[in-house]
Amino acid sequence: MRTIVIAGGTDGIGRQLALQLIRNGEHVIIIGRSSEKGEDLRLEVARLDGEDRFIFLQADLSLVSENIRIVNEVYRRVNHIDQLILCAQSQKFSKVYRETKEGFEHHFALYYLSRFILSFKFQELLKRSAAPLIINVCAPGVKGDIKWDDLQLQTQRPFNSIKAIMHGSRLNNLLGLAFAQSTADTNIKYVLFNPGAVQTKGATEAFDNKLLKILVKLMYKIIGLPVQKAVKPILHFIKSPPENSLTAYKQNNKLDIAQVISNNNQSERLHRLTIELIKRKHVELKIN
């Protein structure tokens, strides 16, 4: 029985993974913002007779302080982690720039900073596993440049949450590389995984405009994968982790890392800037 942590596990891909892993006999720790959704998931797990292998931890992962609290809580509860799956994301479309109470742009904080913190802070627990694996559910393969002078897109007006998410995906690519470089002497594997279009509630209800919502639902019905099918590659990685320290996939298709990340030197730069940014916001964080 493996211990698997899923960040963002009460909806969509994370929820489907949690239920399937419980069916497979694994020990699953779910981190999510909504205690109501966490309780709903617990009841579903109970119907599968898996409640003794299930833990729900409530946290707002858009806050650095909450990520650190959750890391400490997991360290108190388990002595190792076999797999860490990073799914937390807000797909709600917005043209309004919004900051967390810690002063970070919301999408940047949830989609990148949280994954940065959890990846590095959980590495000691991962090292204790025989086959440790991190799966970062993002969007490797998205083209575009990193806005080095504006990582949080604070000056981009009008603000566009879709652009923020795409930019966050490019940051996650470099996060994967930075992690792989810093843990080269370990057997931890890091997978950047793009599930493509998936028929989740978050994706199909991202827009408030009624007409757009109808059009998006129709589009996802045509091109989107049912969530049960979308998680199959992730389940395969969990069963048989890739041999390389860093790999990238779009669904079942392996991507060329050299094309996903064209400049290896940028990962160290982003790592340094991320630490400096967190310190500037007066949030204590120690990363090895």
Q: What distances in angstroms separate CA 286 from CA 14, 18, 39, 85, 278, one per listed residue?
A: 27, 29, 32, 21, 10
User: Residues near 277 by Cβ (< 8 Å), separated by ≥ 6?
Assistant: 104, 151
- Asked if 175 contacts 114 with a C-beta cutoff of 8 angstroms, the reply is no
* Amino acid identity, position 281: K
Q: What is the pLDDT of residues 10-33, one digit of tens each?
A: 999 999 999 999 999 999 999 999
pLDDT tens for each residue of 260-278: 997 878 999 999 999 999 9
Q: Where are the domains of the chain?
A: 3-195+231-280, 200-227
Q: Which single residue is written with the structure tokens 């891909």?
A: 13
* Tens-digit pLDDT string for the chain (288 aa): 899 999 998 999 999 999 999 999 999 999 999 999 999 999 999 999 999 999 999 999 999 999 999 999 999 999 999 999 999 988 777 888 999 999 999 999 999 999 999 999 999 999 999 999 999 999 998 888 999 999 999 988 889 888 999 999 999 999 999 999 999 999 999 999 999 877 676 655 555 666 665 675 666 677 667 889 999 999 999 999 999 999 999 999 999 998 899 787 899 999 999 999 998 875 566 665
**Sign for the pseudo-dihedral over CA of 209, 215, 216, 221:** positive
Other CB atoms within a 10 A radius of the CB of residue 48 amount to 13
Does domain 3-195+231-280 sit in CATH 3.40.50.720?
yes
